[in-house]
Structure 1
C-alpha cells in the first residue's frame, strides 16, 4: 500500500535532509518493486505502471547517494511455487516446507527454498545480475538468508551423500546432538552460497557491494539455520548484523556487538541494523522509547559502528504512521556525517581482552537465556567491566595468537569450556611471560571437538585439578572466605561467607605449585526447618576462588560461573568479587579513571584514519528511573575523568557531540611511564558527550 502515489523525489529529498549516504530499498524476491521480466516474477499489484526502483536509482544517483538492492528469497507464494515446485525445500516425507517466523506460520503461506536450491542460487544470481545491469545498483543485500531445519530435496540428498558419505539423518529431534554433523554441513552450505553470491556480484566490479542478513552474537540461529558470523565474514563487504532495540537486552548491547564485529575483522565497517520503530523487531508500526533509542544509537557510534535504520512502512521516516522518533535518527545521522573522519576509523584502547570461544558458543548457547551458558557469561562480565569503566575488547579463538594478545595486561576467559591444546599453549605462554588471566566455570575442561577432558588443559596455569564432577548450587549455595585480607574480598571484611549459585566445578588446589584457595565450596544449607539449618562443618577441600602464580604471570580462577550469576541472579557478591579480581589483576591502575557513576558509560578509542590523530572519549548517560524501557534520562553533573594515553603531547580537546562549555581540561602531563595523563572536569552530561582529544 505504501507504493500508491510513491514519490521518489521526496524520498531522496528526505535522505539528503538527514545526511544519509545510502538507501537500501526492497527490489524483490517475494514481491518485486519493478516490472520484472524474469522467470517466477511477482511484481507488486500496487506499482500502477511505475518503475519505482528505476526512479529511486536515478534520483539517488543524481544526489550522490548509493543504492543497495534488498532481495529476499526466503519463500514464494503458492502461485509462484506451482510454476516450479521442484526447486523448493521438502520435509522427510517429501512435502513442501513452509516459512515460519518465530516458530509460527505466516498469515499467507510462503514455500521456502534451502541453501542449495535452484531458486536461492541460479535464480537469485540472475535476479541480482539483472538489477545491476538494468538499474546500476551499487550492491546487493540478501535479506533473510535463513532456512530452518533440515531439507530432503534431491540436491541436498545428493550433496550430503557425496560429501559426508551417508544419507541425510532422519528421526529423533532436530535440536538434539544427533544432528550436529548435519548442522555443521548446513553451515558450510550457507557459507558456499554466500561466497558464490558474492562472486556473482563482484563480477561487475570490486566497487559493487555484497552483504547478507546473518544473525550473530545476540541471536542464536546456528542450530536451526546454520548462521555463524565466523564462517561468512569473508563474503561480506561490511559486517552488518541485526540488533533491534529490546527491553530484554542490556543497554550496552550495541557496544558489545560493535567490539565483537571489530575483533572479527578490523578492516571492515561494523554496522548495527536497528529500527526506530518497534521493540525487539515487534510492534513495527509504532515508535519505541526515544530515550532508549538515543542510547542505542550513541552506544553503537561510541565504539566505531555505523547505523542502518530499518523502516518497515511508509515511504520514508518522516512519511509514515508514527513519526515520533524520526527527528532523533536525523540528529544522529547528521552528526555521523559531520564528524565522519573522526568517528569512522578507530580502534579500541583496551588493556583487557575477553577471550571469545566460538566452539563454546556453539555448544553452550541457547535461545532461552535461562538455559544459556555462554552469552550470558559475557553479558555479566560486560556489566562488571562497564560499571567500572574498564576498557576492553574481544580476542577471538578464530585468530588467537601470541601477537593477538601482545600488549594485553589481562585476558579474561568466561566459561571458555572448549579450547584446543594449541590455544591453551598460547594462553599458557602469555601468563608465563608476565600476562594475567581470569577464568571462570568450566574453562578448558573440554577440547575443540566438544569432548570432556580428564583435567583442565590449563590446570597448571589455574593452579588446580578437576575433581571429576560439578554440583548445582542454585539453591542455598555459599562460599567460605579463607583469605579475608585478599584484595578480591575488598568491601567484604565483615563476612565469612559469600553467595554461590549455579554450577560449581569441584576442584582441588595444587598447593605444591604455589596456588592458594581464597574461598572454598560450602555444602547446601537448607533453609527449612530452621532448627536443622546448620552444618557440622562448612569446610570442604574444594576451592571456589583460587589465585596462582605461574611463571612471571598470575591467574585468578572462579570455579563457578560467577559472570553468568551476575546476569541471571544479581547478588552483589558476584559483581563485587569479579570486579575486585579485575582491579587486583590490573594493580588498580586503569587507562580511564573517573568518579562518574556506573550509569555514565565510557568508551575510549584511538583515531587511526586521515583525521588529526588522537583519541575519542565517548560518554553515554544511562541515568534514569530503575526500570526498562528507559523513559527519561537524568543529567549527571560535576565529575572528573583521568586518561592515561599512549601519546607524548596534548594539543586540544574538542566536543564532537554535546556542549563544549561543560568540558574543562584541568591538567595534562607526561608521566614517568611515558604516557600522557589528561585530566578532564565535566560540568554536565545530558544524554551523550563525545570528545576528540588531539595528541601527538
Structure 2
C-alpha cells in the first residue's frame, strides 16, 4: 500500500478563535517555530468559537494563509463546524436548527443552536465543500455532526421520516434507525463530494467511540469516512480535577487503535483546563497528556481556545518543548505497532446495553444512561482494570468484541474481561477457542451472563471456561464484608493479610470439580461491628480449559479497583499477568504510576515510559523523578546497547540467556528506550 503524507507523524496545532488583532498570518510562523507540522485551520474563518468557510468572505485570507503556511512547510487541514450555527448563521435558526419533541431548540454550550443534517443547512454545507475544490488545502476536519438529547423533531426530520417509514416521527418505532441513517447519509455525501475534488487529501471527523457518544451510529459505521480517526481524549477536566481518571488519554488512544489499527490516529488535546478556555494546563499535565498520546502510537492535536500568546505561558512552553523533541526524533514514531502481550476487552455489546458511566465533554456532553437492571458498571470495571495495569507498568492493548476471532486474540498471552456482561455468541466462541488454544483470561462479575442484546442467560456462556456455573443470584455485599485466600497458588502470592475487602456485588457460583477455588467470600455480615462470618462461597476460581487458563473473579472486582484501589487487588492482577504472560516486558524498581507502552518498528523495539507519579491533588504541578529503574525484556534475543532518547544516553544492560535487563537513567516525566534487534 502506498504511503499517504498523513501516515507520517502529525503534530497538529489549532487556534480555535481569532483574537490576533491583525496578526493572523504570523500564527503560521509561530506554529512552525514551535515544532508543529500541521495546522487544523480555524482562526482566519472564526465566527466567534465556530468556523465555517465562506468563499465570498474568506477566499483571500485563506489563499494568503496557505501561502504563508507553505513557506513554513506547514500543512493545512481546514476546520469545518458541522454541529452548531455560529453567529453569522444564527439568523437561520428557525429553519436550520434541531428541535426537541416539544418544539424548542436546545443550545449547545448554552450559546449556539445545533444544526440539523436534514434541514436546508445540509445543502448549504455541501456548497461549502464544493467551493474548496480550487484551494490547495491538505484536507478537512468536520467537527460533528451531533444530535440533541432525545433526537431532532424539526419539520424537515418529520417530513423525511414520514416519506421513508410512514407515520409520525414522534411515535415512530424507527426513530433511532432514522437518526442513524440521516447521519450516515450526511457523512457519506460529505466524504464523496470532498474526495471527488481532492482524492489525496485527508478527511476526518470528531469521531464518537463509546456507546454514550455514538448512540445512533456506531463508530464502525463511521470509519469509512475517516482517513484518520480522532477523539477528544485530551479535553480535560470539566469536573474537579482531583477526581479525574488518570489514564483518559491512554484509554482513548488505545481504543482508537483497536477500532482502526490500519488508520492513523489522533488525540485532541485542549491546551486549556476545561471549562476555562484561557486557563492553560500546568506544564506537568501538558507533558503527560502529550507523552501518553504519542507513547501509544497516536498523533497529537494541541488546540488553543484563546489567543496565540498562550504559547508563551508555562504550559504552552512545555507543549512547545515536547513538540520540538518529537520533531527531532520523528523517525522513532513512524509506522509503529503495539507489541503488548496483554489486552483488555472493550465489549461494545456491554457498552451499548449495560450500565456505564461517561465523562463530561465539550462535544459529546455527559450522555451516559444508567440502567438499574444490572449490578455492575462496565466503564468503572474497565477503568479499574486498566488503572491497575497502568500503575503497575504492564504494557497492554484494548481489544474489542467487534468481529472478534481467536486469531485476532492469538497474539496475546492474557485477555482481561472486566464486567463484560453482554457478549454475543460469536464473541463467546472466539474467547473459548482462544483459551482452548493456550490463551488465558481474567474475567470478573457477570461476564457473559447476558446476550449482546442485554437478555439474561440462564448461565454464563463461558461457564465451561470459567469452571463455574451461575447459581441463580447476584448478591449485594455492603462495604464491610470480606473474602479470604483459601488455597496456595502463584496467582495469590504476596497477599499476606487474612481478610480482604469484598466487592460490593457478588455472583453466587458453583465451581466445577476440576476447578481450583483460590479464595472464598465470607457470609454476609449484619453490620461492620459484628463477629466475623465464615467463608461461604467461591470468590476466585482458577480453571484449566484446553491448553489455556481462566481466572474468574466472582464479583465487581474491576469496579472495586476503580473505587477503592485495594493494593491486594492490584497484586492479584499483577500475579495473573506474570503467571500467564511470561514474555511481557516488565518494569522493576518503580514506586508506581509509570505507564509502559511497547511498540515495534521493524527490528526495533521502542519502550515508552510515562511517569504519572505526580504530587496530588491534580492538576499535577510536579512529578516525582524515579531512579534505579530496570526494564526486563524476557524475549529480547540479540540486541545492541539500548538508548534513552530523552536523556540522550546509552543504557547499561545485561543479557541472561534470551532475556535482557536494561538499567534506565533517571525518569522524569517521559522517556523512550530504543532497543535495536538486528
- TM-score, structure 1 normalization: 0.85
Residue correspondence of structure 1 range 622-633 to structure 2 within 5 A: 622-633=612-623
1:286 match: secondary structure: coil
Matched, 1:20 2:23: no
Q: Counterparts of 1:202 and 1:90 in 2: how far apart (Å)?
A: 31
In structure 2, the partner of 1:680 is: 662
- The Cα of 1:427 is off from its aligned counterpart by 1.0
Residue correspondence of structure 1 range 229-378 to structure 2 within 5 A: 229-243=219-233, 244-246=235-237, 247=241, 248-277=243-272, 279=273, 281-315=274-308, 317-318=310-311, 323-363=313-353, 364-367=355-358, 373-378=377-382
1:287 match: secondary structure: coil
2:137 match: secondary structure: coil
In structure 1, the partner of 2:475 is: 471
- The Cα of 1:557 is off from its aligned counterpart by 0.5
- The Cα of 1:203 is off from its aligned counterpart by 0.8
Select which of 400, 403, 408 maps to 2:407: 403
- The Cα of 1:370 is off from its aligned counterpart by 12
Q: Contact 1:377/1:563 (CA < 8 Å) preserved in 2?
A: yes
| Residues 304-334 of structure 1: CA deviation (Å, up to 9, x unaligned) | 111111111214644xxx7232221111111
Structure 2 CA distance for partners of 1:659 and 1:686, relative to 1, 3 Å:
farther
Matched, 1:655 2:648: no
Residue correspondence of structure 1 range 611-626 to structure 2 within 5 A: 613-626=603-616
Select which of 585, 588, 607 maps to 1:591: 585
Structure 2 CA distance for partners of 1:310 and 1:155, relative to 1, 3 Å:
same
- The Cα of 1:394 is off from its aligned counterpart by 1.8
In structure 1, the partner of 2:5 is: none
Q: Contact 2:641/2:653 (CA < 8 Å) preserved in 1?
A: no
Higher relative contact order, structure no. (Cα contacts within 8 Å, ≥ 6 residues apart): 2
Structure 2 CA distance for partners of 1:64 and 1:262, relative to 1, 3 Å:
same
1:297 match: secondary structure: helix
1:122 match: secondary structure: helix
- TM-score, structure 2 normalization: 0.87
1:449 match: secondary structure: coil
| Residues 593-618 of structure 1: CA deviation (Å, up to 9, x unaligned) | 4222323332211114xxxx301111
Instruction: Give the RMSD, CA atoms, in angstroms.
Output: 2.8
Gaps of 5+ in 1: 171-177, 672-676
- The Cα of 1:77 is off from its aligned counterpart by 6.0
Structure 2 CA distance for partners of 1:208 and 1:316, relative to 1, 3 Å:
farther
1:124 match: secondary structure: helix
Q: Contact 2:80/2:142 (CA < 8 Å) preserved in 1?
A: yes
| Residues 630-676 of structure 1: CA deviation (Å, up to 9, x unaligned) | 11122222222221346x4323433322241xx523223652xxxxx
In structure 1, the partner of 2:494 is: 491
- The Cα of 1:114 is off from its aligned counterpart by 2.5
| Residues 29-51 of structure 1: CA deviation (Å, up to 9, x unaligned) | 9568799367xxxx6xxx9xx94
In structure 1, the partner of 2:14 is: none
2:494 match: secondary structure: coil
2:123 match: secondary structure: helix
Select which of 666, 687, 692 maps to 2:653: 666
2:294 match: secondary structure: helix
Residue correspondence of structure 1 range 28-43 to structure 2 within 5 A: 28=45, 36=54
Structure 2 CA distance for partners of 1:91 and 1:234, relative to 1, 3 Å:
same
Residue correspondence of structure 1 range 146-165 to structure 2 within 5 A: 146-149=146-149, 150-161=151-162
Q: Contact 1:381/1:563 (CA < 8 Å) preserved in 2?
A: yes
2:674 match: secondary structure: strand
Q: Counterparts of 1:414 and 1:168 in 2: how far apart (Å)?
A: 38
- The Cα of 1:294 is off from its aligned counterpart by 0.9
1:137 match: secondary structure: coil
In structure 1, the partner of 2:141 is: 141
Q: Contact 1:33/1:52 (CA < 8 Å) preserved in 2?
A: no
In structure 2, the partner of 1:607 is: 601
- The Cα of 1:448 is off from its aligned counterpart by 1.4
Select which of 521, 531, 538 maps to 2:534: 538
Aligned pair count? 640
- The Cα of 1:445 is off from its aligned counterpart by 0.8
2:76 match: secondary structure: strand
Q: Contact 2:357/2:380 (CA < 8 Å) preserved in 1?
A: no
2:471 match: secondary structure: strand
Q: Counterparts of 1:437 and 1:23 in 2: how far apart (Å)?
A: 43
Structure 2 CA distance for partners of 1:581 and 1:315, relative to 1, 3 Å:
closer
In structure 1, the partner of 2:7 is: none
Matched, 1:571 2:566: yes
1:651 match: secondary structure: coil
